[in-house]
Amino acid sequence: MLTSRKLEDLSPAVQARARAFLGACAAQGLDVLVTCTLRDYEAQAALFAQGRTAPGPIVTNARPGESWHQFGCALDVVPLRNGKPVWGTKGADGTLWALIGDIGQEHGLEWAGRWSHFREMPHFQHIGGLTLEQARAGKRPV
């Protein structure tokens, strides 16, 4: 099972946006940790099972082959405060996530924290207008 945190595992277009995003966060004094970039089918299956057939809360609606992580087009992050992850989304924590989301969007990343269905605060992606079918066929965004 493969789950990577390396920016080098992202497609070149996504990697460039991710580097600019993380650099802008750092320039504003925000400490952001990358928790996932590339994820293989087995790791995606395990995440999808969570909260369904495996213990834990549901954290994704993407089945294997449906996650942009599997094609190097997505990254998950978490802000750190005093070296500790900020997973909360209310009050000051929510303001922090919104700021990070805005920075990601300014650098050409779609932020799942703005999705109307199944919001995912840590998730950022750049798909460049591609469909999952095109990604499965080997195309990557530019």
What token pair was written down for 53? 């057939």
Phi and psi (nearest 5°) for 77? -135, 165
Q: How many CB atoms within 10 Å of residue 88?
A: 13
Q: What is the pTM of this model?
A: 0.95
What tokens appear for 71 in the block?
A: 């094609």
Q: What is the dihedral of CA 118, 62, 45, 32, to 10 degrees?
A: -60
Q: What pLDDT, on the 0 to 100 scale, is given for residue 1?
A: 85
AA letter at 48: F
pLDDT of residue 53: 97
Tell me what the mean pLDDT of segment 20-41 comes to. Answer: 98
Q: Which two tokens stand for residue 112?
A: 């799942």
pLDDT tens figures, 119-139: 999 999 999 999 999 999 999
